[in-house]
Chain A
Amino acid sequence: MHPSRQPAGLHGLALSLLLAASPASAAGSGLAFVSNEKGNTLTVLDTRTDRVVRSIDVCHRPRGMDWNADRSRIYVACGDDDAIGIVDVAAMKLVDTIPHIADPEAFMVDAARGQLYVSNEDDAALSIVDLAQRKVVAMIESGEEPEGVYLTRDGRRVWLTAEASNLVHVIDVERRETLADIVVGTRPRRFAAPPDEREMWVSCELAGKVDIIDTASLRVVQSIPFLPTGVRQEQVTPVDVVMTGDGRTAFVALGGANRVAVVDVARREVQKYVLVGQRPWGLTLSRDQSRLYVTNGMSDDVSIIDTRSLQTIRSVPVGQIPYKVLLDE
């Protein structure tokens, strides 16, 4: 069962369901963890009340986050510390650090292999970190400013965007080599895919669109442009993109347009633009798909969208420059 297909949470979730490792993982604490890039903290929200319950000092420039296998710990990329921090969820504090990882931004945990795949923004590489050995065991060269990391469901490939090179790389995890470089629209950022992974959606920030790559031919087969009414084209800068578990609906954070686009995946049509805070980048769907959490980098808050009514029902002030939301449910 894959109720959602979010790059960050799913892999850990699938595994935890599989192993039934911890009773907590079945229900979860109902907490949401928000990494604040400039605030150097994680803000903790209670999703039942949508109120901030506390703030955890973590490290410098926390960005990407993911769970360990039993969801007792959160890995967090500490961009300005060249490290991956480890937060203990029960203790609510940073308990450990994996050092010597150059400018980490986004990553995914591969619990099956005990590895973590992380983009090194300043080093033009994808690093493979062995979690038991606590060190980088391989680096794979990429285009400039790698960012979005997507681990395929079979765990065999990592897809990686290189923002400044307008490239998507497909990397073989086992052989640790690049299998394909795909030229996409300007400034590619993040990925999402339907459950069958026949296609890969990649947001192209400066092109103002999402490119759809056919994963068999490895070519861009279609693009979806965005242009909400009353917004200039240059304000449309898509970053995060997520898809519902049934692969029917995609949400795209439109950055400078201050909106989230709701897209009918089959018809390739924008259904609605939902107004959120300023410069939305990060998107996280709740497991039951009823809520979409949106981090707004320029207004230091999180918008919460009700995915049935497609309205923003709440906005919660968090720390400075929120980057990503991780849900414990």
Chain B
Amino acid sequence: MRLSTLSIAWRNLGRNRRRTALALTAIALGQLTLVAVNGMMAGMFDSMLKTITGPMIGHVQIHHKDWREDRAVDLYIDRLPEVRAAIESLPGVKSVSSRLFTAVLVAPGEQTEKPADAEAAIVVGVDVDTESHNNGLLEILPANERPGGRNVVMGTVLAQRLGVTPGRLIAVIGQDADEFPVSDLFTVSAVLKSSVEIVERGIVMSLPDAQAFFTLPDKCHEIVVRGSDYRMSGALADTVRQIPSLSNAEVLTWKEAVPELASMINIKGYFDLIFVGILFLAAAAGIANTMMMSTFERTREIGMLLALGSGPGRLVRMIVLEATILGLVGVAIGSVLGTAVVLITSHTGINYVAIAGVGTGEALDFSYKGLNISLLIYPKFEFRHIIYGLVAVTLTSVLTSLWPAVAAARLEPAEAMRK
């Protein structure tokens, strides 16, 4: 292709600047929407996925086979040190976290004239070390506020109900594995806000403290395994199932543990496609109109070019190139603007509640299946969104400009020049 074809195409675009500007605006707006909306969706689903596969559910979960039905104290996994060691030795296992859950009554523990009203809550006994790392239940907690040694962490909702602040004593009354009552005093080392509802409404204890308090030595109710990638959870679950001491346990991937949330995540792929489709249509309409108009407007000129000896092929190339340049420039402008929007909002966050007008309160999350999913969205820039738009617009440019281009190339020079 001769360079002159390109420069002619470029100059042609400059001849009707208003029309070119309008077409560019349409394409740029489309690309802007695509990048911004897909970025927002990516951010939202990312945080959902992080919430889901993060603290509470992990990639693979292990329970007593009847646990999910009954959640009774005596449906535990026994010989925990042995089981843990077996899981940790598996390839691809990044972290293993064991948890113990027990329903208790909690009351403020300070001696008062009037006995305190108790609240029902759940005690979650956790591996403090594992849970204090990435994606753990206690990830955001400073090291000196971690539970252990009769210090416990209380969820914000429960703390507010009981009027308990860090440093205060609480009285906890629970049941041991045989359902006989046990009671003890603990100190609240921190009040924790969490995306996990039972933590928000409960108490986090170190696993040794909880095992001793509820007389459940070497036992736990849940083992959460994390691999390197949540997408590999199926393979990870399969290797965990091979462990002989877990032959009676139920091993689930996060998708099996919360199938509703997993299918919500799957929907995201369709959303991306819908926006690419809309952009495709907007670009097609804009480019087709522009090229059609500019080609028919230039019938006389095209006749002249043909008469001067330029081949029909070159004419087609010229017109298709005009459209392609138009599309690419539009995509470039839209990409820059869209990326800017995503990058700026990824710092400030988008308050989905305010935009969508759902609810009137200050709640910035919604609770689903015991997980609090944030409605404050931090969009996430993904380069592939730009590529989607680029491919869609380039394709439409070529396709929609081919018809006017071919029509122009077929003109009879003498006839065309007379128009």
Tell me whether A and B are bound partners. no
